[in-house]
Amino acid sequence: MNWLDNARNHWKNRGDKKPPFAIEPKKGQRSVWDFPRPPIIEKVNKPVLVKDHDHIIADSKNALAVLETASPPTYYIPKSDVNISTLILMQTKTSFCEWKGKAIYYALRTNPYQPIAWSYLKPFPEFEALKGYIAFYPQYLQCYVDGDLVKAQNSKFYAGWITPDLVGPFKGEPGTEGW
């Protein structure tokens, strides 16, 4: 698995020291530059809600968040807390994460061509906890943590949820691909 080791080892920022441009967090805030790489999973102790306009897609008090250097957390919701009838599996769309493995994608039944969520059917052992969970893109939906509407990470690929307690800058802007 030399290709996998190379993919994992190419990152220079690993959460062990902040770059000079990182925003210093104030009391009650967290810096994404303190998040580690490899990423970790954190239990979310706040309600998480995902909506498509007035339709609830997911509502959970059992979410997980993946924290990775330079990125806002990505929230994963147990399938049991997702209204699966609103989603369809995209048969031809997949991607690969060097930390989590192969992802499959979902679209809304009302718009079957736009991926709005993904899941790992067989995640790598370090991320086995994500099996049976679905993550959602806040770029295309209204996502809330503890009642706060999240801001989407500036990216078509990354799907971090920016909450009021986070400071960056955040990976996703042009020129930040290597962060």
Kindly report the pTM of this predicted structure.
0.94
Domains and CATH numbers, the chain: 2-167 (2.170.150.40)
What are the phi and psi torsion angles at 109 (to 5°)? Answer: -55, -30
Give the chain's mean pLDDT: 94
pLDDT digits (tens, 9 = 90+) for 62-98: 999 999 999 999 999 999 999 999 999 999 999 999 9
| Percentage above 90 pLDDT, the chain | 84
Nearest alpha-carbon partner for 47 in 143, 174, 156, 175:
143
Cα end-to-end span (Å), the chain: 23
